[in-house]
Amino acid sequence: MTATTTRPEPAARDRSARSLVDLVFRARELSLVLALAALVGGTAAVNPNFLSGQGVEDILLNTAILALLAVGQSMVVITRNLDLSVGSVVGLVAFVVGDALASGWGLVPGVVLGIAIGAACGLLNGLLVSFCRVPALVVTLGTLYVFQGVCHYVAAGRQINAVNLPPALLSLGNGAVLGVPYLPLITVVIMFAIGYYLRAYPSGREFYAIGSSPEAARLAGVPVRRRVLAAYLVSGCLAGLAGVLWLARFGTVVADSANGWELLVISAVVVGGVAITGGVGSVYGAALGALLLTVIGGALVVLRVNPFWQQAITGALLLIAISVDRVLALRVARLLRRRSRHG
């Protein structure tokens, strides 16, 4: 009776390799936390004021709006789409709501108005992308300029000043509870709510299925068009809320508020581990990406580095994140092909 040497089955090897790749994807968020810790620690060692009470509060306030937009954008990107219009929606909402509040509206009606405007913008994008099947890049690039044009028409060269706004709104933008500013608290609550929905509910996991393979999701009975429309609707609502928070944070707004923020939001999402090809990532990672970009900007200011380097570093991080996602995607594709061949 001859002894036989047992070798691991190919499928078992593939499962092991696939588990390793999945672990790498999950480790993206941990790597962001470590990068943040190193960046904050290094900057604080050079300038201890970076971690002063006021310094930490500024970081939280500056991150809140960007992270809120990144959470909404991540839902769209997970479905393998983009929303380039979020910056324009923020500017439009900030001015229109500011105009309404300055003319005597209350805070709650103003917030509802801002979210409604954002929802209408998101609904327009979602209908054109999901039901009319126009490429997301084309649709949202077009609506970016449309919303900007509407904002400039409404503004007519005017600006909203903080002295004309109700104290309750300004308190929302600069107040705190137990020492924690309201804005980051709002963002954190929304982030956890959406993150829990995406992971815990079957309808939430369908967004990932669409991003992984829209055709396979459609064959599996997933309502692809409705889910894509819902992603744009959520992104629009959060952009509308972000516009109200922008107004509360800065008080004085003009027609081109948040101009160019759409690329910063997408950078935060991709750096945070949400694959631009869809199907991978989380809203927590997107928020961490927003925090990382904000801390980089703050650290460069504290260290008196030319602001140009913030854009250069952001671009470099974006390229690295996309490259890593591409390498991992190719690795997963090879593993799946091998697993399929071995039955």
**Residue 309: per-residue pLDDT:** 77
Residue 176 per-residue DSSP state = E
**Residue 218: per-residue pLDDT:** 93
Residue in 74, 32, 66 with CA at minimum distance from that of residue 282 = 74
The domain 61-327: what is its CATH number? Answer: 1.10.3470
**Residue 311: per-residue pLDDT:** 76
**Residue 52: per-residue pLDDT:** 82
- Residue spans of the domains in the chain: they are 61-327
Beta strands in the chain (DSSP E): 176-177, 180-181
- Rounded CA-CA distance 170/172 in Å is 5
Mean pLDDT, the chain cut into blocks of 10 residues (343 residues total): 46 46 61 83 86 86 95 95 95 95 93 97 96 94 96 92 91 87 95 95 94 91 96 97 95 87 91 86 91 87 77 79 71 65 63
Residue in 68, 111, 29, 87 with CA at minimum distance from that of residue 234 = 68
Written as six digits, the tokens of 210 are: 């669409």
Q: Is 38 exposed, middle or buried (0-12, 13-18, 19+ CB in 10 A)?
A: exposed
Task: Measure the CA angle with vertex 84, ends 97 and 153; round to 5°.
Answer: 40
Measured in residues, the chain has a length of 343
**Residue 67: per-residue pLDDT:** 96
- Rounded CA-CA distance 10/343 in Å is 9
- CB of 101 closer than 8 Å to CB of 77: no
- Rounded CA-CA distance 325/8 in Å is 29
Residue in 57, 71, 65 with CA at minimum distance from that of residue 93 = 65
- CB of 258 closer than 8 Å to CB of 287: no
Beta bridge mates, 322: none
**Residue 2: per-residue pLDDT:** 47
**Residue 132: per-residue pLDDT:** 92
